Amino acid sequence: MQWQCRHRTIDLARPVVMGILNVTPDSFSDGGRYSGVEAALARAAQMVAEGAAIIDVGGESTRPGSLGVDAATERERVVPVIERIAASLDVAISIDTSKVEVMAAAVGAGACIVNDVAALCAPGARAWAAQARVGVCLMHMQGEPRTMQADPRYHDVVSEVNAFLLNERAHCIAAGIAAESIALDPGLGFGKRYEHSLALLKHLDHLTASGAPLLVGVSRKSLIGEVLGRGVEERLYGGLGLAAWAASRGAHVLRTHDVAPTRDAIRMVSAVLEGRVN
């Protein structure tokens, strides 16, 4: 399987790692740590050295209860970082945003993927993405970040999330976005109780029927805290367990703060599934 992302083709014959680079002051795990351009570039270089195939740059926190920022502020945070990464490192760059203005500025700076928690539902987003020929990731979220964890409810979370993703994918294809450019993300922890996320992980293979690449983010999630009683900085091992599980159930891209250990975990899964090392 391949993911066509503007000028890049990402090989997904084996699962790959997407490294998280938050350049925000308020992200739940690493807010403020990489807000300077030099610090962000150094972190990106470290993640590439550790095996990240994609660097996902975010300039607006989407943690539960977070408040949004305007497009100008978001652009000011992400564009200089993306420009430096694109000029310095040979890696696919993703922009984590729901604003068309930020998408366009980020791609102009060197990004080739749009990772949108709102599944390109902003006015004009799909038309722009089709014209720009970017790779896109469509995520499922019930509600919006400020209130999404207040009282999420589902009758059948697996079938409802799957139906949403397939429907949004069809809308994107109808808008002119190439099918091979679209990845899907069930949005673990986004408008979902821990039992909803567990059900999605258990039945992750149900979400791969479309043949689209499947992106899963489990790194440091509150789900791990619910199960293990661990704080944010103590969730590495739980996250590795979930990443390995997701890879074994068909996930193609694992989005994480912890690149090197996650890459090792999914390489071991691939070795077991294929019965070979290389």
Chain segment 96-130, per-residue pLDDT in tens:
999 999 999 999 999 999 999 999 999 999 999 99
Ranges 19-33, 135-149, 194-208, most confident: 194-208
pTM for the complete prediction?
0.93
221: amino acid identity, one letter: K
- The answer to whether residue 267 is catalytic is no
pLDDT exceeds cutoff 90 at 24:
no
Among residues 121, 202, 216, the alpha carbon closest in space to that of 156 is found at 202
- What's the CATH fold of domain 2-274? TIM Barrel (3.20.20)
Among residues 252, 258, 151, 139, the alpha carbon closest in space to that of 241 is found at 258
- 9: which strand partners? 4
For residues 45-81, b (16+ Cβ closer than 10 Å) or e, as one string? bebbebbbbbbbbbbbbbbbebeebebeebbebbbbb
Q: Of 99, 126, 255, 263, which is the active-site residue?
A: 255
Dihedral of alpha carbons 103, 107, 111, 112, sign = positive
pLDDT exceeds cutoff 60 at 132:
yes
Residue 241 phi, psi dihedral angles, 5° rounding: -60, -45
- The answer to whether residue 221 is catalytic is yes
At 61, the pLDDT band (50, 70, 90 cuts) reads confident
- Distance from C-alpha of 52 to C-alpha of 16, rounded to nearest angstrom: 7
In angstroms, the Cα distances linking 67 to 24, 101, 257 are 12, 18, 22
In angstroms, the Cα distances linking 55 to 86, 149, 182 are 10, 27, 17
Tell me, what's the pLDDT at 266? 97
| Cβ–Cβ under 8 Å, residues 148 and 112 | no
At 76, the pLDDT band (50, 70, 90 cuts) reads very high
- Out of 24-33, 98-107, 111-120, 177-186, which region has the weakest mean confidence (pLDDT)? 24-33
Among residues 128, 40, 125, the alpha carbon closest in space to that of 88 is found at 40
If DSSP codes are grouped into helix, strand and coil, which group holds residue 201? helix
236: amino acid identity, one letter: L
Average pLDDT value for the chain = 92
Domain ranges of the chain: 2-274
| Cβ–Cβ under 8 Å, residues 30 and 22 | yes
Residue 62 phi, psi dihedral angles, 5° rounding: -120, 20
pLDDT exceeds cutoff 70 at 170:
yes
Q: Of 43, 221, 235, 263, which is the active-site residue?
A: 221
Q: At what angle do helices 125-132 and 100-109 cross, to 10 degrees?
A: 20
